[in-house]
Chain A
Amino acid sequence: MSIFNTLFNYIGQIYTDRLPYFPTNIRVSLLIILFCVITAIELYLYMMVRRAVRSVRSKRMKYWDDYISVLLANMIVFDETDHPHEVVAHFYPKLKKIPLRSKVVNSILVEKILTYHKNFTGKTAEVLSLMYRKLSLDKKAKRKIKNRNWETKIEGIREANEMDLMEMAHLIVEYTDDENALLRMEAQAAYIKLSQSDPFHFLDRAQERILDWHQVVLFEIITKHKKLTIPSFSKWLYSSNDTVVMLCLKLVDHFMQFDAAQEVIKLLKHQNPKIVRKAVEIIGKLELEDAESFMFEIYFNHSEEIKLEILNALGKIASGNYSEFLSSRIYSADVKIKKEALYAIKIDPDHGEEKLRTIYLQTGQENQALIKHVLDDRIR
């Protein structure tokens, strides 16, 4: 015990009476020690308390999670002959008893309704929508959308999106060109679903970039949403925002919009190489014979990546107009160009492989190896 007393007395002294007499570096060291000890102790306490609180909270959450799940499950499997309004009227008093003022309980209920709504259609989805509104959760979602915090806004937008709160579209459109990329993306995704008159209006006003990731998300929504009326995306191919052009090119490609052919061909002169490459790819997929001469024209001025895409597109069009050009490319110094030209020749379903076999007999060892490779369907 006396050792500890001595130690504590010593520490007490160096931090009080003796501190001013130490050299600067020792004083600073003592302060750093004090800071480190206090920080470490605080962190230990915080971690312990956090674990304890989480344990209690998770038990409480599990209770409410189970309780709400059972209630909603009962509501879903309730007498099928009943009208949705009757089902809601039956279950409303029970759900109303839940302490919705508690943020945790409220978020569990909302999350559950959203999940069930996502997984059910028809009458069940309708019952859930009605109950959602009856519990005034739509008003809460509206307040969330108007909240200053972007994360809360996103929560509200997601709710509106899932619960088909069409009346929120006019609020959401404001955020479709927001500086915050996440908020922007969520708003765009929701707006497509919720706007009944002009779901692609946000593309007209998009000044901010639609990042590749956002394009993936929007592409998924647009291509999977069955009720959406798909417009001709050619009208946005002249947009000054390159990312809008890129997204629309991907959609033109997916929906095989032949009416966009002329606009796509014009994009071969675009200054953004990514757009040129995508335009070439679409020309190939749509087999636009008219574009062959334009592609040939730009071939020698572009990077290897675009050259490869042009060769591929010429192969897909397979008009025969540029077959000599494709054959000449197998004598290029670039192996990738050679290989792509050989693949382009092979694409022709009638004479492709036969032509490759003829070339095989007339060419050198390196090209023969490449032809063997191209003819092997197990590899690319």
Chain B
Amino acid sequence: MREFLTDFETIFNNAIFYYAVVVMGSYVIFTLLSAIEMNSYMKKNSYVNYREILVSPLAPSVSILAPAYNEEATIIENIRSLLSLHYGNYEVIIINDGSTDHTFQRMFDYYQLEKVDFAVNYQITCNEIKGVYKSKLPSFSKLTIVDKVNGGKSDALNAGINVSGKDLLLCIDVDCIVQEDAILKLAKPYLEEKYQVIATGGVVRIANSCKVEDGKLVEVNMPRNLWPRFQVLEYIRAFLMGRMAWSRLNGLLIISGAMGLFDKNIVIKVGGYDHTTVGEDMELVVRMRRYMYEQDRRFKVVYIPDPLCWTEAPADLQILGRQRNRWTRGTIETLWTHKDLFFNPRYGILGMLSYPYWLFFEWLAPIVEAFGVCVFILLALMGNINWEFSLILLSMVYCFSVMLSTVAIFFEEMSYQQYTKGKDLAKLLLAAFLEPILYHPLTVIWAIQGNVHKFRGKNNWGTMTRKGFKNAEALNSTANTTT
């Protein structure tokens, strides 16, 4: 028995070691790729005058689709902010997804809405649209309000797509703070790539503790609360390193639900957002990609490193846990729905690299990690642990994690340097040391919970309560519940 346990420990150590080395190796490769991609982007765009797209009649037209569910506290300000974006040819479509508060009434009164005879072409299935409204005031001519029966975020976006009259769709969360030049930057790849661009995404940043005035970000600060601070680090790592690298490989599987620009024709051809999944943002991109492969059309999904959208990260562990639980379920659902992509050469990099990577390193990683911890505890209880070796292996993972976060902070420093204050940088670097000990174990637990909930058939979004950006008054105001 003793011998068996010793052998098992050796095999276990080796298995964990090789898995960790492969994961770390992939991170190193991604870091290099994203460095190349970012460098190329920064060089290329240092010569760009975005004003040219702004005033050009040749620029593609854009519909901004923003679903709203019980957003009465901030909806007026959010719409005003969207209407002031810098772009020539665009419209703002707010989809009131059957709000049970006064969201619709507030919009109706403030923007002096009136119903129009809009004949909706239901190209994509969605719940009944009760009415389409336009403002009587000419200054709000770009605004369209769609009032519909509640059906969730995906359903609301599909309704918006059916009403949209432009070439591109900018799907956003209505409570996000969008940078004024966001559309210009997201639209540019549609004009400059050799192949058809079907979707573009930009970096989403954390707005907690930042100063916001009139729906615009005026001062960037590091979140005071520790949990959003860890998320700042996590987002920088994910967006500036992960997604940029995938963009370089043209293997990107996800465009953040908070903000993404899509080719309307392709979105309609693939049937719009899937109502049945909680990971609708990832699922749509995967479906669009596979459609393009099936049509034998060359295409690109592009990610740009500019910080374009600021969102409030959950500061409460319970809410954060719900969000991560949902993300895990969304990943599982997308991977399951498109299981035929697995190592399928017909789908190029999507089938041969992106899908397997997500399966092994995004979905399986927390499971392997949790399994490893359980076995480690079991072996420790049985006295079959070589503590020195285990400590060295753990130290390796810890040091690698700190280094990776440091590289991400370095990327941020070299590119957009949003955190200009020295103390903010110090806080971020300190977070890199604490994150593997304090935050990462929680993300693993939430991912495991997500797996358990998925396999037990739990399929809801979970309540996402936000504090809002406005000010102290708004911080204590009614919680907003997103669709």
Task: List A residues at the B interface (Cβ < 8 Å).
Answer: 14, 23, 25-26, 28-30, 32-33, 35-37, 39-40, 43-44, 46-47, 50-51, 151, 154, 158, 181-182, 186, 209, 211-217, 219-220, 250, 335-336, 339, 366, 369-370, 372-373, 375-376, 378-380
The residues in B between 376 and 423 inclusive whose CB is less than 8 angstroms from any CB of A are 389, 392-393, 395-396, 399-400, 402-403, 406-407, 409-410, 413, 422
Check A37/B116 contact, CB under 8 A, given A213-B192, A216-B53, A216-B58: no
Assess whether B17 is in contact with A43, with CB atoms less than 8 Å apart: no
Assess whether A219 is in contact with B58, with CB atoms less than 8 Å apart: yes
Assess whether A376 is in contact with B59, with CB atoms less than 8 Å apart: no
Assess whether A30 is in contact with B392, with CB atoms less than 8 Å apart: yes
* B55 contact from A212, A214, A220, A369, Cβ within 8 A: A220
Assess whether B52 is in contact with A40, with CB atoms less than 8 Å apart: no
Bound-complex Cα distance A33 to B17 (A): 13
The residues in B between 113 and 160 inclusive whose CB is less than 8 angstroms from any CB of A are 116-119, 121, 123, 132, 134, 141, 144
Whether, in the assembled complex, B292 has its beta carbon less than 8 Å from a beta carbon of chain A, the answer is no
Assess whether A220 is in contact with B425, with CB atoms less than 8 Å apart: no
Q: How far is the CB of B167 from chain A (nearest CB, A)?
A: 11
Assess whether B191 is in contact with A151, with CB atoms less than 8 Å apart: no
Whether, in the assembled complex, B6 has its beta carbon less than 8 Å from a beta carbon of chain A, the answer is no
- The 10 A-B residue pairs whose C-beta atoms are closest, nearest first, are A372-B117, A213-B192, A36-B399, A213-B191, A36-B403, A373-B119, A212-B191, A29-B396, A369-B119, A25-B17
* B52 contact from A46, A181, A216, A336, Cβ within 8 A: A216
Bound-complex Cα distance A196 to B144 (A): 49
Assess whether A46 is in contact with B165, with CB atoms less than 8 Å apart: no
Q: How far is the CB of B429 from chain A (nearest CB, A)?
A: 7
* A26 contact from B121, B194, B389, B407, Cβ within 8 A: B389
Bound-complex Cα distance A112 to B403 (A): 41
Check A186/B396 contact, CB under 8 A, given A43-B410, A220-B56: no
Interface size on B, residues (CB 8 A): 50
Assess whether B117 is in contact with A373, with CB atoms less than 8 Å apart: yes
B47, B58, B190 pick with most chain A CB within 10 angstroms: B58
Q: Which residues of B contact A25 (CB under 8 A)?
A: 13-14, 17-18, 393
Assess whether B406 is in contact with A182, with CB atoms less than 8 Å apart: no
Check A215/B58 contact, CB under 8 A, given A28-B21, A30-B392, A37-B399: yes
Q: Which residues of A contact B119 (CB under 8 A)?
A: 339, 366, 369-370, 372-373
Q: Which residues of A contact B21 (CB under 8 A)?
A: 28, 32
The residues in B between 332 and 372 inclusive whose CB is less than 8 angstroms from any CB of A are none
Main SS at interface, chain B: helix
Q: Which residues of B contact A219 (CB under 8 A)?
A: 56, 58
Assess whether B191 is in contact with A376, with CB atoms less than 8 Å apart: no
Assess whether A32 is in contact with B24, with CB atoms less than 8 Å apart: yes
Q: Can you list 7 A-B pairs, Cβ within 8 angstroms, ordered by A?
A: A35-B403, A50-B413, A154-B47, A212-B58, A216-B53, A217-B49, A217-B52
A35, A37, A216, A369 pick with most chain B CB within 10 angstroms: A216
Check A369/B403 contact, CB under 8 A, given A25-B14, A28-B21, A213-B191: no
Assess whether B117 is in contact with A47, with CB atoms less than 8 Å apart: no
Residue on B with the closest CB to A220? B52
Q: How far is the CB of A326 from chain B (nearest CB, A)?
A: 18
Whether, in the assembled complex, B188 has its beta carbon less than 8 Å from a beta carbon of chain A, the answer is yes
The residues in B between 20 and 36 inclusive whose CB is less than 8 angstroms from any CB of A are 21, 24
Q: Which residues of A contact B56 (CB under 8 A)?
A: 216, 219-220
Q: Which residues of B contact A209 (CB under 8 A)?
A: 194
Q: Which residues of B contact A339 (CB under 8 A)?
A: 119, 121
Whether, in the assembled complex, B456 has its beta carbon less than 8 Å from a beta carbon of chain A, the answer is no
Task: List B residues at the A interface (Cβ < 8 Å).
Answer: 13-14, 17-18, 21, 24, 43-44, 47, 49, 52-53, 55-56, 58-59, 116-119, 121, 123, 132, 134, 141, 144, 165, 188, 190-194, 389, 392-393, 395-396, 399-400, 402-403, 406-407, 409-410, 413, 422, 425, 429
A158, A217, A336, A375 pick with most chain B CB within 10 angstroms: A217
Bound-complex Cα distance A50 to B412 (A): 13
* B117 contact from A33, A182, A376, Cβ within 8 A: A376
Bound-complex Cα distance A311 to B278 (A): 41
Assess whether A26 is in contact with B392, with CB atoms less than 8 Å apart: yes
* A47 contact from B18, B392, B409, Cβ within 8 A: B409
Bound-complex Cα distance A214 to B24 (A): 40
Bound-complex Cα distance A154 to B117 (A): 52
Bound-complex Cα distance A250 to B18 (A): 58
Additional pairs, 19, CB under 8 Å, beyond known A25-B18, A379-B118: A26-B393, A33-B395, A33-B399, A36-B400, A40-B399, A40-B402, A40-B403, A212-B190, A213-B188, A216-B58, A216-B191, A219-B58, A220-B56, A335-B123, A369-B117, A378-B141, A379-B116, A379-B117, A379-B165
Q: How far is the CB of A180 from chain B (nearest CB, A)?
A: 10
Residue on B with the closest CB to A27? B392
Assess whether A212 is in contact with B407, with CB atoms less than 8 Å apart: no
Q: How far is the CB of B409 from chain A (nearest CB, A)?
A: 7
Q: Which residues of A contact B190 (CB under 8 A)?
A: 212
* B400 contact from A14, A28, A32, A44, Cβ within 8 A: A32
Q: How far is the CB of B142 from chain A (nearest CB, A)?
A: 12
* B406 contact from A44, A217, A366, Cβ within 8 A: A44
Residue on A with the closest CB to B403? A36
Q: Which residues of B contact A380 (CB under 8 A)?
A: 165
Q: Which residues of A contact B409 (CB under 8 A)?
A: 43, 47
Q: Which residues of B contact A336 (CB under 8 A)?
A: 121
Assess whether B402 is in contact with A36, with CB atoms less than 8 Å apart: yes
Q: How far is the CB of B401 from chain A (nearest CB, A)?
A: 9
Residue on B with the closest CB to A370? B119
Q: How far is the CB of B195 from chain A (nearest CB, A)?
A: 11
Q: Which residues of A contact B165 (CB under 8 A)?
A: 379-380
Bound-complex Cα distance A376 to B422 (A): 57
A26, A37, A336 pick with most chain B CB within 10 angstroms: A26
Q: How far is the CB of A14 from chain B (nearest CB, A)?
A: 8
Q: How far is the CB of B136 from chain A (nearest CB, A)?
A: 9
Residue on B with the closest CB to A18? B388
Q: Which residues of A contact B393 (CB under 8 A)?
A: 25-26, 29
Assess whether B117 is in contact with A151, with CB atoms less than 8 Å apart: no
Assess whether B400 is in contact with A47, with CB atoms less than 8 Å apart: no
Residue on A with the closest CB to B410? A43
Q: Which residues of A contact B406 (CB under 8 A)?
A: 39-40, 43-44
Bound-complex Cα distance A369 to B119 (A): 6
Bound-complex Cα distance A26 to B390 (A): 9
Residue on B with the closest CB to A34? B399
Q: Which residues of B contact A50 (CB under 8 A)?
A: 413
Q: How far is the CB of A152 from chain B (nearest CB, A)?
A: 12
Q: How far is the CB of A197 from chain B (nearest CB, A)?
A: 27
Bound-complex Cα distance A212 to B392 (A): 54
Assess whether B43 is in contact with A151, with CB atoms less than 8 Å apart: yes
* B191 contact from A37, A211, A370, Cβ within 8 A: A211
Q: Which residues of A contact B402 (CB under 8 A)?
A: 36, 40
Residue on B with the closest CB to A154? B47
Q: How far is the CB of B129 from chain A (nearest CB, A)?
A: 12
Bound-complex Cα distance A33 to B402 (A): 11
Bound-complex Cα distance A173 to B185 (A): 29
Q: Which residues of B contact A214 (CB under 8 A)?
A: 192
